[in-house]
A and B are shown apart, each in its own frame.
Chain A
Amino acid sequence: MDKVIEVKNLVKDYGNIHAVKGVSFEVNKGEIFGLIGPNAAGKTTTLRIISTLLQVTSGEIKVFGHSVAKEPDEVRKCISYLPEEAGAYKNLSGKVYLEFMAEFFSEDTNGKTEILKRGIEIANLGERIKDKVSTYSKGMTRKLLLARALMVNPKLAILDEPTSGLDVVNSHQIREMVKSFSKQGTTILLSSHNMLEVEFLCDRISLIDKGVIVESGSPQELKEKYKTNNIEEVFMEVVK
């Protein structure tokens, strides 16, 4: 099976704080892989390192065979990252924001128009797409940002808490969108502390706690192994 991400013994320290302590996992092509854990478990740090934002203290990461440390420019060509607390440029309209982002991924005007069209469709904001981002609700902004991340048909989408802070309806819409993109061939690495969401979305998961991966497998395998009804109970069993 093609390996999209290979993480080996990843360590990240912020001064005296050890955020990630020797994490290893692999993500295969076309799957939705979830990094699950409570707040401050090291999920976001791991995703930020894979997205070329942070440098490793030690360990090795490869994305599509490119080393994140040595070939960050090559890695950036393959990925699309949605940070947990991301925002959009408030003085731009939603459409202009998507247009600005589309420009980086298109070779010509036709390509740009196509990406933009897809972005507007995914965002599904109707006429409000022409309004300034500063007038959007949190849900609308998150949809716009998810559209930005997925409109370029990335080979790998890295989504940090994609439904963070959203209501039931918006969360559901976003989960459906992520599923449909996975079916179209995009590999997805996501993080969440919402165990039920993960169970619904992910093909495989790794449970992370205090900077260490404590368990890995498909949601079904893990539930069977720990004889529980859901992943939340699996997590409680593992960290007990």
Chain B
Amino acid sequence: MKNFYNIVKKEIRELMTRQMIFSLVFMILMFGMMGKFIGNIREEAEKSVSMAVFDMDRTPFSQTVVEVLGGERNVIKESSLEKALNKAREKDIKALLVIPEGFEKDVEEMRGAKLEVYSILKGLGIGDLSSSGMLKSAINTINQKIATSFVQEAIPGKNPQDIINPIKIKEFVTVREKTVPGNPEMIQGLVTSQSIMIPVILMMVIMYSGMMVITSMGMEKENKTLETLLTLPVKRSYIVTGKMVGSALVALIMAAVYMIGFRYYMSSFMPSAESTPILKNLGLVMTPLSYLLLGTSLFMAILVALSLSMLLGLFAQDTKSAQTMNMPLVILVMIPFFLLMFKDISTLSLPLKILVYAIPFSHPIIASRALIFQNYFPVIGGMIYMAIFAGVAMFITIRIFNTDKVLTAKFSFKKRRKS
């Protein structure tokens, strides 16, 4: 085992270069800055939009509208619409709401009164484009108020809402034997976190660990160190596993840094997936056992990635070709990532279903969803499949390492010369 630890230690020392540590620190800073920047934009967009009202009607009713929209302080007093727009531009106002002459009269006579909204764009950023949406929701509130007062006047003694919206929906969600009030959107947060976060974590860890292992093999060949390593009195299986573990540890550090950064970045503009009572009532919660199984499933997927990468790394001639060798692994991760992000496995066609089940990296994603429903069968089945897959890949790798193919194996797309 001494030799195994020695190889692990060397791998970490070789891969954890100053440049790599620098790029990690840079990445943390970049995510932090991006998160803060986007958070600021969001805060700005969420702030009450700077808007103004130009009241050309000047009636008690138009005054009510002005009050709903923030009162006298928002009113621009000018003699014409053009001047009012100029004033709004000067004051850096994003939207001007114009109450035209005859507004009150049109409302009273139920002729469909009109309000005019002028959005003043200075750019195409999120903050600039959200102004019109905010105003429309304010106008909706005004509409509701007007409609309610009309109904109250016309049919006193009745709840105006029962007349405006005579049909109300009472929704229930049923999961297995449990039925609770609510709608499927209420579990959106949980679904989002399961369908995006788990695959993203998986993708990052697999891609980094794969890249590290393949690069490590490419470096051995490029620096001409592999031959010496293979003549040392150390078992070839220790060389294979030592390289895998060393590279995996470095990859995990990198993936963890990226994940923390990514999470911070995402949380700056995505609401956190708070567990609502509906999830608890439906039994859609991750128990400690579920987390343990999910962790094991992720670990098995990493093992598969490492053993496959080691196999691919055998064909890398240098660090440059190592980057290309990573491609098959990336494709294998991408297929289930995109397929299962938009669809559930049960809704896929049979050939696609077979494809997804055959790709080992699909199983942690499938597991993350099955575990919410405490459905353990596909999870354990997936883990057994991944264990067999990793075992076979490792076996083949060690077999190749015990032959001279480790030095001579390479991919060649050139036509073989006829002898």
Q: Do A and B come from one complex?
A: yes
Q: Are A55 and B228 in contact (CB under 8 A)?
A: no
B60 to chain A, nearest CB (A): 80
B263 CB–A CB distance under 8 Å: no
Total interface residues on A, CB under 8 Å, equals 32
Q: Beta-carbon contacts of A77-117 to B below 8 Å, as 1s and 0s? A: 10111110111111110001000110111000000000000
A82, A86, A91 — which one has the most chain B CB atoms within 10 A of its CB? A91
CB-CB under 8 A from B404, the residues of chain A are: 53-55
Q: Are A96 and B13 in contact (CB under 8 A)?
A: yes
Q: Are A55 and B225 in contact (CB under 8 A)?
A: no
Q: How far is the CA of A73 from the CA of B402 in the complex (A)?
A: 11
Which chain A residue lies CB-closest to B417? A16
Q: Are A89 and B235 in contact (CB under 8 A)?
A: no
Q: Are A87 and B230 in contact (CB under 8 A)?
A: no
Q: How far is the CA of A103 from the CA of B14 in the complex (A)?
A: 16
Q: How far is the CA of A77 from the CA of B235 in the complex (A)?
A: 11
A79 to chain B, nearest CB (A): 7
The stretch among B2-10, B180-188, B252-260 that forms the contact with chain A is B2-10
A51 CB–B CB distance under 8 Å: yes
Instruction: Give the total number of A-B pairs whose CB atoms are below 8 A apart.
Output: 70
Q: Are A91 and B231 in contact (CB under 8 A)?
A: no
Which residues of B in the span 331-371 have a Cβ within 8 Å of any Cβ on A?
none
Q: How far is the CA of A52 from the CA of B223 in the complex (A)?
A: 20
Q: Are B225 and A104 in contact (CB under 8 A)?
A: no
B156 CB–A CB distance under 8 Å: no
Q: Are B233 and A73 in contact (CB under 8 A)?
A: yes
Residue from A14, A76, A87, A91 in contact with B233 in the complex, judged by beta carbons closer than 8 Å: A76
Q: Are B227 and A53 in contact (CB under 8 A)?
A: yes
Total interface residues on B, CB under 8 Å, equals 25
Q: Are A89 and B14 in contact (CB under 8 A)?
A: yes
A62 CB–B CB distance under 8 Å: no
A43 CB–B CB distance under 8 Å: no
Q: Are B232 and A86 in contact (CB under 8 A)?
A: no
Q: Are A89 and B227 in contact (CB under 8 A)?
A: no
Q: A53-B404, A89-B14, A96-B13 are in contact. Are A81 and B228 (CB under 8 A)?
A: yes
B384 CB–A CB distance under 8 Å: no
CB-CB under 8 A from A143, the residues of chain B are: none
CB-CB under 8 A from B419, the residues of chain A are: 16
CB-CB under 8 A from B10, the residues of chain A are: 89, 92, 100
Q: Are A86 and B228 in contact (CB under 8 A)?
A: yes
B94 to chain A, nearest CB (A): 54
Residue from B6, B15, B17, B408 in contact with A100 in the complex, judged by beta carbons closer than 8 Å: B6
CB-CB under 8 A from B6, the residues of chain A are: 100, 103-104
CB-CB under 8 A from A73, the residues of chain B are: 233, 235
A186 to chain B, nearest CB (A): 16
Q: Are A103 and B2 in contact (CB under 8 A)?
A: yes
B403 CB–A CB distance under 8 Å: yes
Q: Are A76 and B231 in contact (CB under 8 A)?
A: yes
Q: Are B227 and A86 in contact (CB under 8 A)?
A: yes
Which residues of A in the span 41-93 have a Cβ within 8 Å of any Cβ on B?
48, 51-55, 73, 76-77, 79-83, 85-92
A204 CB–B CB distance under 8 Å: no
Q: Are A91 and B228 in contact (CB under 8 A)?
A: no
B200 CB–A CB distance under 8 Å: no
CB-CB under 8 A from A101, the residues of chain B are: 232
Q: How far is the CA of A87 from the CA of B234 in the complex (A)?
A: 19
Closest 9 CB pairs of A and B: A87-B224, A87-B223, A81-B231, A54-B404, A103-B6, A76-B233, A83-B227, A77-B233, A16-B419
Can you list 14 A-B contacts (CB < 8 A)?
A14-B408, A52-B230, A52-B231, A53-B404, A54-B404, A55-B403, A76-B233, A77-B233, A81-B228, A81-B231, A88-B225, A90-B223, A92-B13, A100-B10
Additional pairs, 8, CB under 8 Å, beyond known A76-B234, A77-B233, A100-B9? A54-B407, A76-B233, A86-B224, A86-B228, A87-B223, A92-B10, A104-B233, A145-B228
